[in-house]
């Protein structure tokens, strides 16, 4: 799978595309939200991973596609608050149409899709396998474990 393109509004008020967040070595697309306890538990690790690997050429965006009508805590306004509270160093984007989530085949939060320098899928799954996958990609090696099971909340579809 090649990374599907997107154009989504970030909590910084700017529109971001796959090309604007792309890393030279790898690109992480994280499906996330504000209310899922699995996401909340993983946030500090995700921040630490990005801070460690960004200088090595890894780009990252977290995308919230949850239905905010049913889950108001996942609204754009609440995303802005959460990103500020946690000081997210990566982009936090709103997929209100849910088209990006569908294009990626996302089903859970947190769920990771990690692409190599050519934007080919190299790893998908849980936060637990992320560091190993990035170590391999930064070293220009094939990812040893390209897939794990994403554990978390289901995406809340409209």
- Measured at the CA of 125, the angle between CA 68 and CA 41, to 5 degrees, comes to 60
Q: Specify the number of domains making up the chain.
A: 1
- Asked if residue 84 is part of any domain, the answer here is yes
- Please give the full DSSP string across 122-146, using - where no structure is assigned: EEEE-GGGHHHHHHHHHTT---SS-
- Asked if residue 39 is part of any domain, the answer here is yes
Please give the average per-residue pLDDT across 61-77, as a whole number. Answer: 98
71-105 confidence digits (pLDDT tens): 999 999 999 999 999 999 999 999 999 999 999 99
114-147 confidence digits (pLDDT tens): 999 999 999 999 999 999 999 999 999 999 999 9
Looking at residue 71, which CATH number applies to its domain? 3.40.30.10
Q: State which residues form the domain around 121.
A: 7-154
pLDDT at residue 9, as a whole number: 98
Tokens representing 130 are 């992320």
- Asked if residue 42 is part of any domain, the answer here is yes
pTM of the model: 0.97
Tokens representing 29 are 């697309």
- Asked if residue 93 is part of any domain, the answer here is yes
- Asked if residue 123 is part of any domain, the answer here is yes
- Asked if residue 2 is part of any domain, the answer here is no
């Amino acid at each position: 799978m090649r990374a599907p393109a997107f154009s989504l509004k970030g909590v910084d008020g700017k529109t971001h595309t796959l090309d604007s967040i792309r890393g030279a070595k790898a690109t992480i697309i994280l499906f996330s939200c504000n209310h899922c306890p699995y996401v909340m538990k993983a946030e500090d690790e995700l921040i630490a991973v990005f801070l460690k690997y960004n200088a090595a050429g890894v780009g990252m965006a977290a995308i919230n596609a949850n239905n905010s009508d049913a889950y108001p805590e996942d609204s754009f306004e609440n995303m802005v608050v959460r990103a500020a509270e946690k000081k997210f160093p990566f982009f936090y984007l709103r997929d209100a149409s849910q088209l990006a989530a569908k294009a990626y085949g996302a089903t859970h939060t947190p769920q990771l899709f990690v692409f190599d320098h050519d934007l080919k899928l190299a790893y998908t799954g849980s936060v637990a396998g992320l560091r190993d996958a990035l170590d391999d990609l930064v070293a220009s090696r094939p990812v040893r474990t390209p897939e794990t099971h994403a554990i978390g909340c289901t995406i809340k579809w409209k």
